[in-house]
Copies of this chain bind each other. A is one copy, B any other.
Amino acid sequence: MTAERLVVVGGDAAGMAAASQARRLRKPDELTITAFERSHFTSYSACGIPYWVGGVVDGPDALIARTAEEHRSRDIDLRMRTEVTELDLDRGRVRARALDDGGREYWTGFDKLVLATGARPRRPDLPGIDAPGVHGVQNLDDGQALLDTLEKSAGRRAVVVGAGYIGVEMAEALIRRGYGVTVLEQSPQPMTTLDPDMGALVHEAMCGMGIETVRGATVTGVLTDGGGRARAVTTEDAEYPADVVVLGMGVRPETTLAAAAGLPLGDAGGLLTDLAMRVRGHDHIWAGGDCVEVLDLVSGRTRHIALGTHANKHGQVIGANVGGGYATFPGVVGTAVSKVCDLEIARTGLLEREAHAAGLRFVTATIEATGRAGYYPGARPLHVKMLAERRTGRLLGVQIVGHEGAGKRVDIAAVALTAGMTVEQMTALDLGYAPPFSPVWDPVLVAARKASGAVRAAGG
């Protein structure tokens, strides 16, 4: 029997988790595994980059879950600094270019293919945007390049473009590095992954942290100095001096190869898969991680969410299926958690605009409580916003902004969303209570009670 040939494109979480899991299930004489990674790093935590840049964690080694050598010792033929430049699905082969070998190109055949090409930072087509000193932070190479810039930089002014997760985390990192940080956000509030009323709480807190946050700021370009390096960011109204510019405008699925090969893409540009993570219409091609769209269990639509935790799950599922086992990825409810300094920010389910777009009618309830019993030291404000469907009372989404204990509380709602609970059912949840952990009514219960009342008050 000839061994089957598995080719994996992309050597970060999804790709290498798939390779590792497949290897656990199938021996090398049954399945050969070749993986291509164009950067210098494999199986790393991109989510850790802001903490590496901020000096909170050592890098880049600490951020690497498994090195190339470790993968190779498990009989995975991992080719680093090798970019796949074409998928030839008809002949079952991929073309690779060895970046450190003079760009040498060659074809590698496959019986099964895993696409894990990740995402690329949004980089608007503006004058100066490619100047030295302007950095995305998508992979460890990016992180290293940014750190090099910071070390060489004489000044201490940083501009972060975009106030999403990466934007606020990078703002904190640069504050830690001693930079004066200005965050430019096009929207009326930072964190457009929250509703504006909750984003306003983040804005207020960021101001208190000494992070200048300019809202409604449309970036028009990057000005450069005589040496061609970035020296300022311009908006329609103003100019912000910058010794370093960080782009935190989110990411898009990296599906250039897939698109060229005619594979199915969704509205957000991500690959579309079935529940076993097979590319739709292609029995022998799987895709996972930041290059795919996932099913949103609340709205019933696919959406693009770049998150390491999903990528790892995808890889696990793909590896099981490629290896002859069985696993599925049922979808997401849109949970995300982040922090900027000591402010925790979390959401799950749908925002108001997302619920509207899904055709849902709903009520909202917003409450302020504390994360611990009010009399317990360290009890600090915590805001919960809850959306519930009219008539059914089904939970649609939760947003939480607050201090210690705020972020992971969103998990309560994530599980409730997955289970299709109503907010009335949630009022009876048996959540952990003790004064250092929660008030006698957990803030999520308080919000559920208020939302439940709003559902009843709204009638039909």
Contact = CB atoms under 8 A, between A and B. Distances in A.
A339 interface: yes
Interface in A413-460: 414-416, 418-419, 421, 425, 427-438, 440-442
Nearest to A311: B440
B48 A337 contact: no
Given A45-B440, A408-B438, A431 B309 contact: yes
Interface residues of A, number: 65
B414 A416 contact: no
A55 to B, nearest CB: 11
Nearest to A416: B415
A309 B428 CA distance: 10
Given A62-B375, A433-B307, A409 B408 contact: yes
Interface stretch (A99-107, A199-207, A263-271, A325-333): A325-333
Nearest to A332: B430
A428 B203 CA distance: 33
Given A45-B435, A437-B337, A430 B348 contact: yes
A56 B411 contact: no
A396 interface: no
Contacts of A51: 375-376, 435-436
B435 A48 contact: yes
A436 B62 contact: no
A402 to B, nearest CB: 13
Contacts of A408: 405, 408-409, 432, 437-438
A13 interface: yes
Which 5 A-B pairs give the minimum distances between C-beta atoms? A419-B419, A337-B432, A309-B433, A415-B415, A62-B375
